[in-house]
Amino acid sequence: MKDLPYVDFGHTPYEAAFGRADVYGVNGTPERAAKRPLSIAIAGCGGVAQAKWVPAIRRLQTIGEPLAIAGVVDPDEARRQKTASLCAAPAFATLSELLAKTRVDIVLVLSSDSFHVPLAEQAIERGVSCLVEKPLARSYREASSLARLAEERGVLLAAVANKRFSPPYAQAKALIDAGALKDRPTIFTGKFTLGYPYVDLLEGGTVHLLDLLLWFMGPVARLSAQGTFQDDGRLESAVVSFGFVSGAIGTIMTSATGLSFAPWERVEIFGRNAFLVVDDQFELTLHDGEAAPARSWRPSVPNTLMFDESFGGYSGLLENVLDSLRGLATLGSNGCDGAAAIALIDAIRMSLERGAEIDLSIEGLMP
Ligand SMILES: NC(=O)c1ccc[n+]([C@@H]2O[C@H](COP(=O)([O-])OP(=O)(O)OC[C@H]3O[C@@H](n4cnc5c(N)ncnc54)[C@H](O)[C@@H]3O)[C@@H](O)[C@H]2O)c1
């Protein structure tokens, strides 16, 4: 690898700050201004919609993305009214009402998990593209049939995988693609911990780590899980080992006995006499020589040029989805990617139940 690839770490892009003297990137660019204007609907006005997606939309609009919010939907009146006022857009109690009254290019499905599939199906049936929060569905069967429906109708279906667009992980991927590990990835190890008890350990949190594992390593051929359980039968902790189709191997631990804030998440990827580590979705370190210095990347916090919407991966993901819709980019995480992460959750549950290794192909859990 001759040159290190450059991924901005959530700050104003270098070229905007130093090339155009536009430290917040608010002047836009002719390329951005020339993009086809798009109209977004938000279905689900809870925490993630208000705290992450509305700011991500606003960030893109601030830097000149031609984008409008057509309306917001939530059965809960107080939430939809609050979000409608944040968005300066009309509020609807149901998605069908919104779709009947408004023209939209894409629906962001940000509702509680059980409503992801029915809401996405409604939009796709009407030929409207969707970006669906994780988990894409509650089972691989449901997720893959949603992906099939979108394909049959020729409608874009994107799955939320915001960590792929978070700078430490995006930089890790760029380094691997540029040959920094001196070989294809040979081993993946990952850790995820969660302190708060009200979300499902696998669907609510570990799904992010499983998506990263698939993104870095490719499809899984088989896995084997061991777990401990809470008094009410819910999964408390699990250790899972993986055999990848490529021949590489991996392992993750995930637990609800830890802390949610830090230490929280760690990913290590080994190549051949080189490996990299991403700690707490914050710092990336590359070790590529016995006597060579390690290299590390992390954001400057606090820094007035640092944007949380960008560092969390939300605005980068949304920009990629909108550009894919316009035919300007390849979709970074599609319905099949979302379904593949759910397949791993189904397989982990099967392995825990049977106390046996699961072959994903035999179980019909491979696309
Ligand atoms: N990408 C991430 O890192 C991330 C972070 C947090 C949450 N999430 C996901 O986002 C989704 C929402 O999470 P949250 O924390 O905002 O939950 P929340 O409970 O705060 O909000 C969910 C909202 O969906 C609404 N809703 C339910 N049925 C609906 C329907 N039929 N149509 C429209 N809205 C409906 C509820 O009334 C509620 O307001 C979940 O699937 C969660 O897994 C993802």
Q: Enumerate residues 6+ apart whose C-beta is below 8 A from 164.
A: 170, 173, 211, 212, 215, 313, 317, 332, 333
CA of 49 to the centre of ligand 1 (A): 7
Indicate which atom in ligand 1 lies nearest the CA of residue 111.
24
Q: pLDDT (tens digit, 9 = 90+) per residue, 243-268?
A: 999 999 999 999 999 888 888 999 99
Protein residue closest via CA to atom 40 of ligand 1: 112
Ligand 1 binding pocket mutation candidate from 48, 97, 200 (most atoms within 8 A of CB)? 48
Kindly list the structural domains of the chain, giving each domain's residue range(s) and its CATH number in brackets, ordered by start: 14-162 (3.40.50.720), 163-306+335-359 (3.30.360.10)
What's the pLDDT score for residue 51? 98
What whole-number distance in Å separates Cα of residue 24 and Cα of residue 75? 37
Q: What is the pLDDT of residue 13?
A: 86
In the sheet that holds 38-43, the strands lie side by side as 91-92, 67-73, 38-43, 106-109, 129-132, 157-159
Q: What is the pLDDT of residue 198?
A: 79
Q: What are the residue ranges in the chain where pLDDT is below 70? A: none
CA of 116 from ligand 1 middle (Å) equals: 9
Q: Which residues contact 234 (CB under 8 A, 6 or more apart)?
A: 200, 201
Tens of pLDDT, residue by residue over 218-228, are 999 999 999 99
Per-residue pLDDT, 92: 98
Pocket test for ligand 1, best of 110, 164, 321 (most atoms within 8 A of CB): 110
